[in-house]
Structure 1
Amino acid sequence: MTIIDGGMGRELAKRGAPFRQPEWSALAMIEAPEIVRDVHRDFIQSGAAVITTNSYALVPFHIGAERFAQEAQDLAASAGEMARAAVALEGTTTKVAGSIPPLFGSYRADLFDADHVEDIATPLIKGLSPHVDFWLAETQSLIAESVAIHDLLSTLDTDNKPLWVSFTLEDSEHLDVPRLRSGETVQEAVATLAGLNVAAILFNCCQPEVIDQALDVAQTTLQQKDAPHIKLGAYANAFPPQPKDATANDGLDEVRDDLTPPAYLVWAKKWQTQGASLIGGCCGIGPEHIAALSQHFTGTSTTQR
């Protein structure tokens, strides 16, 4: 089992980092990157074997087109540097995942623009590349964007770092089968990515209740595609169901009272039985949740500050 870190945004807000819309977690990269480094350290101390760069909001949707054009690559490099600094300060072997976010807005499959994938993703990839161990295309709402990122990395990343792809799932209504927020089925998504031979397929930024359904489908699909080497993973958020017109970062949404660290661990145990070997948390899942996962799955004693 590999333990991944939890959500960055709320931890930044708790520590008094500059934090507002539209910049969201990018504002800390701009004004107080050392707080980002310290959040990474907290997750490492909680037992995370993988931390994720704070590059999620470094897109025009959040920082604006002008700032993106001028600063995106440098800010991405800073995000990678802060993650690496945290690992160095903790003296661990923690891996750094380079977050490639949804390029046109969280949950917004309808805003996908194939003609501008390269323009937005390239500076992020170039800035992060020297500092990360592998790539994590996360909170992907549709198949086409994840495929486009895979294809772009195949030309830009000369080191051929592994790629993990994580999809966000529709969780606002009961569905016949698990689906991405685009309406595409999990079966279609997993089959497509198995054909691309990605290193891992995960599900994130949605309720744990829909993730367990998706893992069943994913495991079956990988078996059918003779791709058991592709790892499965999960990192849910702590939000109530999100409507179709929601945007993941509209504000600091209320989180569910029932997803305490022990309750979240119950879900994680189930995910493990369904084939997940990469487990962490998304929005609203903090160091205390990661500590509970680490203590159970790895027996690691944590040293949270």
Structure 2
Amino acid sequence: MSIPAVTILDGGMSRELEKHGAPFRQPEWSALSLMETPEIVCAVHRDFIQSGAQVITTNSYALVPFHIGEARFTAQGQALAATAGKMARQAVELEDSDTQVAGSIPPLFGSYRADLFDPERVEVIATPLIKGLAPYVDFWLAETQSLIAEAVAIHKLLAQLDEAHKPLWVAFTLEDSEALDVPRLRSGETVQAAVERLVALNVSCILFNCCQPEVIAQALQVAQTTLKNNQAEHIKLGAYANAFAPQTKDATANDGLDEVRSDLTPPAYLTWAQKWQTIGASVIGGCCGIGAEHIQVLSQNFHQTTQK
């Protein structure tokens, strides 16, 4: 297998927003910056572009009732999603860049909470996000998905709502344990089962995110084998880990700005990314705690590697 060229994603938004002085409080989380300081959201996107990101992701992750409440979501959800799209697109234009914009469709019922999935409410929550983001994004990124059913439901809804039929990327979050028999989503479902289901949907890219870098390599290996066995090697693979300590089964992402691992420096993170590339990942970036400095190191390395 040849080693693929790498497309560089951006990193986590929350700490970068904090560095710029964006407001933070619970439960709104990163959505608060869209409400009070959208210009800072644009500035962070520009930082990532300047660091070499070829894809930036809209700051729409916290635009769900879980974070901003039912009443505010009903009244402002679509408008806030539009603001998130506008800030990302504006950053690309101000940087005069060909960077693509990924429309983040977050876990609709809370990060890591496969147990809260409610299929009857997917349309109600996801529709305003899709409609608000649609004019500004190049493709969709359903990220930090804890279970197969939610990713399938989002795919079905996009088929109905997205008149342009933009590509869909799906990123699953994994159980943070290297002791498992096989790599699994936080729902307990296997990576193999998840990849097989997405092959049937013919998504454009399958990624693993918001989990330890140590668990991603095995997941990529399983995904690569599954794609090959299903004659679906045209589907890209990717990864963007977080920098947290391992999260327990009852953890909930975005409870606060968790401490990040001191060992995941930009050069150390690059080592993991290089390993993922050798397995077959062609899309690599960072999640929570992976900042612009990490992305710059990734970009410098992989762009130089590609040019050799």
TM range (shorter): over 0.9
User: Displacement of 1:299 after TM fit?
Assistant: 3.0
Equivalent runs, 1:147-296 vs 2, <5 Å: 147-172=152-177, 174-296=179-301
User: Displacement of 1:14 after TM fit?
Assistant: 1.4
User: Which residue number corresponds to residue 138 of structure 2?
Assistant: 133
Q: For each residue in 1:116-173, what CA deviation from the matched residue of structure 2 results, as whole angstroms up to 9, or x when unmatched? A: 0000000000000000000000000000000000000000001000000000000046
User: Which residue number corresponds to residue 146 of structure 1?
Assistant: 151
Counterpart-to-counterpart distance in 2, 1:174 and 1:287: 31
Of 10, 33, 39, 2:15 maps to: 10
User: Which residue number corresponds to residue 62 of structure 2?
Assistant: 57
User: Displacement of 1:13 after TM fit?
Assistant: 1.1
CA contact (8 A) 1:37 1:86 kept: yes
User: Displacement of 1:3 after TM fit?
Assistant: 0.1
CA contact (8 A) 1:172 1:244 kept: no
Count of matched residue positions in the alignment of Structure 1 and Structure 2: 300
Q: CA RMSD in A?
A: 0.8
User: Displacement of 1:57 after TM fit?
Assistant: 0.1
Counterpart-to-counterpart distance in 1, 2:178 and 2:194: 20
Counterpart-to-counterpart distance in 1, 2:177 and 2:84: 32
**One-letter amino acid of the counterpart of residue 267, structure 2:** P
User: Which residue number corresponds to residue 46 of structure 1?
Assistant: 51
Q: TM-score, normalised by structure 2?
A: 0.97
User: Which residue number corresponds to residue 79 of structure 1?
Assistant: 84
CA contact (8 A) 2:140 2:168 kept: yes
Q: For each residue in 1:173-217, what CA deviation from the matched residue of structure 2 results, as whole angstroms up to 9, or x when unmatched? A: 621000000000000000000010000000000000000010000
4+ residue runs over 3 A deviation: none
CA contact (8 A) 1:3 1:290 kept: yes
- 1:99 counterpart SS class: strand
Counterpart-to-counterpart distance in 2, 1:235 and 1:84: 22
Of 114, 119, 124, 2:119 maps to: 114
Counterpart-to-counterpart distance in 1, 2:22 and 2:9: 22
Gaps of 5+ in 1: 301-305
Counterpart-to-counterpart distance in 2, 1:277 and 1:55: 24
Of 37, 42, 58, 2:42 maps to: 37
Counterpart-to-counterpart distance in 1, 2:16 and 2:304: 24
Of 11, 27, 35, 2:32 maps to: 27
Q: TM-score, normalised by structure 1?
A: 0.98
**One-letter amino acid of the counterpart of residue 271, structure 1:** W
**One-letter amino acid of the counterpart of residue 227, structure 1:** A
- 1:222 counterpart SS class: helix
Gaps of 5+ in 2: 1-5
CA contact (8 A) 1:172 1:243 kept: no
- 1:297 counterpart SS class: helix
User: Displacement of 1:16 after TM fit?
Assistant: 1.2
Counterpart-to-counterpart distance in 1, 2:120 and 2:179: 33
**One-letter amino acid of the counterpart of residue 125, structure 1:** I
**One-letter amino acid of the counterpart of residue 155, structure 2:** H
Counterpart-to-counterpart distance in 1, 2:21 and 2:112: 27
Identity %: 77
**One-letter amino acid of the counterpart of residue 148, structure 1:** A
Counterpart-to-counterpart distance in 2, 1:150 and 1:18: 33
